[in-house]
Amino acid sequence: MLNDQIFKKFVDSAPLISIDILIKKGNKILFGRKINKPAQGYFFINWRYN
């Protein structure tokens, strides 16, 4: 098990990974709210369609 200092150093240097999902029902779109910095608190939607 990592001690707290090594774990904190790892978290601080690890890349930030984000997975965004668009949920649509009829003409309604679900918005998400970012919980991680630097965009913490901002709403988002994913505009990429396949």
CA distance 5 to 10: 9
Which of 34, 35, 36 is CA-nearest to residue 44?
34
Domain spans of the chain? 16-50
pTM exceeding the 0.85 threshold for the entire prediction: no
Query: How confident is the model at residue 46, as a pLDDT?
Result: 59
Q: Residue 50 — very low, low, confident or very high, per pLDDT cuts 50/70/90?
A: very low
Contact (CB, 8 A) for 33 and 39: no
Instruction: Give the residue-averaged pLDDT of 32-37.
Output: 82
pLDDT band at 37 (very low <50, low <70, confident <90, very high): confident
